[in-house]
Amino acid sequence: MNEPNLPPNSRALDVHLDLLRVSMTPEEYELLLGLVAPVLRAIEEEDPAPVGFGLNDDEAESVPDEIRDEAALVVATAVTGRLDNQLIQIDVEDCGPVRIVTDAATAADPERCQDIADCIRERYRQDEELRGIAEASGLPTDL
């Protein structure tokens, strides 16, 4: 697969992809590019439409977590232009563990991580409430 067209001013993204290219097997790197290419293309085109990783459901199930993690970090680098993004896991009551990408300073700040957990917990509570309303109204609940 060819390198995706990269967004303008994407030096951090170039560096990140170069580091991954030398640290991954060619097969892993190709899989990673397949995942992130649609997202990077949407960023480049400034397309606000929802976009997902470039795999169908069957393919997505077989992607190792390490590759998914790297894909999330590549997208974060493309969006932020920063190389210090980190993927962290926060345990949130009711939801279980939640994996997020954030900057290094936030990742190292327990208070800020707790604020994020609180926001996720509140969003989960709201989603469950809306799901209940939809169910009681006979509307689909899998949106």
Per-residue model confidence as pLDDT tens digits over 3-26: 555 454 588 999 999 999 999 999
The sign of the CA dihedral 26, 32, 38, 39 is negative
- 61-95 per-position pLDDT tens digit: 788 989 999 999 999 999 899 999 999 999 888 88
Better-predicted residue by pLDDT, 54 or 34: 34
Model's pTM, two decimal places? 0.76
Backbone torsions φ then ψ of 27, nearest 5 degrees: -65, -45
* Mean pLDDT of the chain, nearest integer: 86
Residue 1: its pLDDT value, please? 43
Q: Where are the domains of the chain?
A: 1-83, 86-143
Q: Extract the tokens encoding 133.
A: 């309303």
